[in-house]
Amino acid sequence: MTAKYVVGIDLGTTNCVLAFAPLEGDAPQVQLLQVPQLVAASTVDSRQSLPSFLYLAPEHEAGGALDLPWAQGRKFSTGEHARRQGAEMPDRTVVAAKSWLCHSRVDRRAPLLPYNAPSDVGKVSPLTASQRYLEHLAAAWQAEYPDAPLAEQQVVLTVPASFDAAARELTREAALAAGLPASLVLLEEPQAAVYSWLAERGDDWRKELKAGDRVLVCDIGGGTTDLTLVDVAEVDGELALERLAVGDHLLVGGDNMDLALAHQVAGLFAEQGVKLDAWQSVSLWHSCRDAKETLLAPEAPESHSISVLGRGSKLIGGTVSVDVPRAMATELLVGGFFPECTLADRPEKRRVSGFQEIGLPFESDVAITRHLAAFLAAHADDGQGAAYPTHVLFNGGVFKANLLRSLVLEIIGKWAGDAPPAAELPGGRDLDNAVARGAAFYGWTKDHGGVRIRGGVARSYYVGIESAGLAIPGMPRPMRALCVVPFGMEEGTSVDVPSGEIGLVLGEPAHFRFFSSAVRNGDQPGDVLPTIDEEELTETDPLEATLESTADTEDSYVPVRFQSQITELGMFELWCVSTTSDERWKLEFNVREA
């Protein structure tokens, strides 16, 4: 069956959105799918997005109350009802599954969410939670378009630019388990935001950007911050876009702001003699999301009232309320998350304790401006100064506040000195849905032809090679890093990695330590780094293969060299190619190990 639609899916940390466009026609007509979901027990309604929350119901609650038009007798819910249950029963509500999916220090196939939930809760893995959200979107699509199965459409699924190869593999695995097609394409979220802007501007974008311009995509969602630089160049007389750099996966976003405001507001309740319990505190957190958007709006009121349901014997059925001053909220959110800083300032490093809980690696410094300074300085053209942008494209619900967009532009302008200040890209922005819309537009242009952002892979990749030499008791042999994939390697290409022969063990698992870097953009395949610099290289999941030789040999190992491939779908494969025969083996990410 021929695909009728291109479907773009934003699998977000706090919300999921599905956009689509018919493949027929001379121009893409991108629309949003209204997603039916539980909004309360036994109540189904459609929403523009599916909140990325999974509620795991106790046995006595499962059944008809959680039914959907396409699923009966369920023991869980996803979406708005699950988000609301986060206030009622946080120990049974999965949040931030996407952030757990890229957390390499845990087994992401193990049932560990909700994190720290009591033993009577049947936990799920980050992989399963992600699968549940995609299953819901797939079922909602099927209900609306029964003659166009999602598995037969052209699907573009977005991932953070900072996701490494292992996190991408896991995302793809969740998608295939949810019934999405094997031909699905993974697209970086900041690139999708740029495609959304291109779709909105049409041909006018060529008048608004010129060769030599540089666009900073500043994407702050509910749970994460993603930074990307895109350069504008002239190729054969036409303007072209090329992704220059991506930042690290920063676990700081709108949810952190809501929580910070909630702590402050809890103090206002305490001044009235009201001590909030755990249930009310979670409810307050959700209420502060609306308060933040209201108090940071252009013509915001002087204060905003926040209420929570009463819980004491004298308050059952009633509410308790406080007025939150605009000045207090602005000082907290701007001063804490967007403080003025210099280009030389850096995020404060986490103090390392001997004992650490294995939770999500949230940023110890929530000052987004300091993270931005570090990012721009790390990608300076000449190794000095910074990679100053000429334009900024804002994305994510946080930037609905004009105040925050203006602050970021003002701070970048001060860093640039005598250079012209960066300007916000013109046009209206659908900040909540731009990523899904851009993914659908990208899929349409991929099929019909149109402007594309060049860039290839967003990180350089390395395999750890243990040095030969005399063993010293109690001391590991020095580890070097062999570059196997250069930054920007294009989809659909392969490269033979120059190196000496490497012995590969047969008949038992062969284990390779694996690293990536978002800042070493000049390394080429075969380059060897004499030491592992943790400031530049990040260790991710190891590569592993259990190899059996098809040749008639009793050797316990074979000499091999590496060959790297980036598939047309944007996935990374590393092959071991025998230097003595025609045999070759593909190394798989060992994401099962914590």
pLDDT tens digits, residue range 398-416? Answer: 898 889 999 999 999 999 8
195 domain-assigned: no
In this structure, the answer to whether residues 262 and 242 fall within a common structural domain is: no
Q: pLDDT at position 313, please?
A: 47
Q: How many residues belong to the chain?
A: 594
Task: Enter the pTM of the model.
Answer: 0.87
Task: State the first-to-last Cα distance of the chain, in angstroms, to the nearest integer.
Answer: 41
Does 390 have pLDDT greater than 70? yes
Tens-place pLDDT, residues 75-89: 999 999 999 888 778
In this structure, the answer to whether residues 505 and 568 fall within a common structural domain is: yes
Q: pLDDT at position 591, please?
A: 57
User: Distance between CA atoms of 519 and 464, rounded to whole angstroms?
Assistant: 18
Does 541 have pLDDT greater than 70? yes
Q: pLDDT at position 45, please?
A: 97
Q: pLDDT at position 88, please?
A: 76
- Enclosing domain of residue 585: 460-589
Does 177 have pLDDT greater than 80? yes
Q: pLDDT at position 521, please?
A: 86
Does 356 have pLDDT greater than 70? no
Q: Which CATH number fits the domain that encloses residue 126?
A: 3.30.420.40
User: How far from 90 is each of 74, 85, 121, 190, 288, CA to CA, in Å?
Assistant: 19, 7, 11, 31, 17
122 domain-assigned: yes
Tens-place pLDDT, residues 6-49: 999 999 998 999 999 999 988 899 999 999 999 998 999 999 99
Q: pLDDT at position 132, please?
A: 98
Give which of 425, 442, 455, 449 is closest to 209, Cα–Cα.
425
Cis peptide before 114 (omega within 30 of 0): yes
Last residue of a domain, one of 298, 319, 337: 337
Q: pLDDT at position 438, please?
A: 97
In this structure, the answer to whether residues 383 and 311 fall within a common structural domain is: no
User: Distance between CA atoms of 38 and 22, rounded to whole angstroms?
Assistant: 28
Does 474 have pLDDT greater than 80? no
From the number of C-beta atoms within 10 Å of its C-beta (0-12, 13-18, 19+), residue 240 rates as: middle
Q: pLDDT at position 264, please?
A: 92
Q: pLDDT at position 316, please?
A: 45
User: How far from 411 is each of 305, 333, 346, 368, 478, CA to CA, in Å?
Assistant: 31, 16, 14, 11, 43
Mean pLDDT calculated for residue range 146-169: 91
Tens-place pLDDT, residues 436-457: 999 999 999 988 888 889 888 8
In this structure, the answer to whether residues 236 and 319 fall within a common structural domain is: no
Last residue of a domain, one of 337, 363, 379: 337
> Which residue matches tokens 């026609």?
25
In this structure, the answer to whether residues 402 and 502 fall within a common structural domain is: no
Phi-psi region of 373 (alpha: psi -120 to 50; beta: other; left: phi over 0): alpha
Q: pLDDT at position 157, please?
A: 97
Q: pLDDT at position 156, please?
A: 97
Q: Which CATH number fits the domain that encloses residue 325?
A: 3.90.640
In this structure, the answer to whether residues 243 and 260 fall within a common structural domain is: no
235 domain-assigned: yes
34 vs 532: which has the higher pLDDT: 34
Q: pLDDT at position 2, please?
A: 86
Does 352 have pLDDT greater than 60? no
Q: pLDDT at position 358, please?
A: 55
Which range has the worst mean pLDDT, 106-120, 251-265, 536-550?
536-550
In this structure, the answer to whether residues 43 and 150 fall within a common structural domain is: yes
311 vs 333: which has the higher pLDDT: 333
In this structure, the answer to whether residues 419 and 526 fall within a common structural domain is: no
Total domain count, the chain: 4
583 domain-assigned: yes
Last residue of a domain, one of 337, 352, 380: 337
What is the pLDDT confidence band of residue 226, given thresholds at 50, 70 and 90? very high
149 vs 511: which has the higher pLDDT: 149
Does 91 have pLDDT greater than 90? no
Which range has the worst mean pLDDT, 410-414, 434-438, 513-517, 544-548?
544-548
Which range has the worst mean pLDDT, 254-268, 308-322, 420-434, 477-491?
308-322
422 domain-assigned: yes
154 vs 573: which has the higher pLDDT: 154
Q: CA geometry: angle at 574 spanning 518 and 502, to 5°?
A: 105
145-159, 317-331, 538-552: which is most confident: 145-159
In this structure, the answer to whether residues 309 and 361 fall within a common structural domain is: no
325 domain-assigned: yes
452 domain-assigned: no
Q: pLDDT at position 567, please?
A: 84
In this structure, the answer to whether residues 231 and 103 fall within a common structural domain is: no
436 domain-assigned: no
Give which of 127, 159, 97, 154 is closest to 458, Cα–Cα.
159
Give which of 328, 330, 311, 331 is closest to 319, Cα–Cα.
311
Mean pLDDT calculated for residue range 557-576: 86
Average pLDDT, the chain: 87
Which range has the worst mean pLDDT, 112-116, 357-361, 430-434?
357-361
364 forms bridges with which residues in the sheet? Answer: none
What is the pLDDT confidence band of residue 524, given thresholds at 50, 70 and 90? very high
Indicate the SS3 state at residue 412: helix
Tens-place pLDDT, residues 41-75: 899 999 999 999 999 999 887 668 899 999 998 99
Does 215 have pLDDT greater than 90? yes
Does 556 have pLDDT greater than 90? no
Q: pLDDT at position 314, please?
A: 47
User: Distance between CA atoms of 247 and 375, rounded to whole angstroms?
Assistant: 6
What is the pLDDT confidence band of residue 150, given thresholds at 50, 70 and 90? very high
Describe the crossing of helices 368-378 and 402-416 by its angle, rounded to 10 degrees: 40
In this structure, the answer to whether residues 395 and 522 fall within a common structural domain is: no
Which range has the worst mean pLDDT, 331-335, 336-340, 507-511, 528-532?
507-511
In this structure, the answer to whether residues 120 and 44 fall within a common structural domain is: yes
DSSP designation for 476: P
Mean pLDDT calculated for residue range 342-348: 92
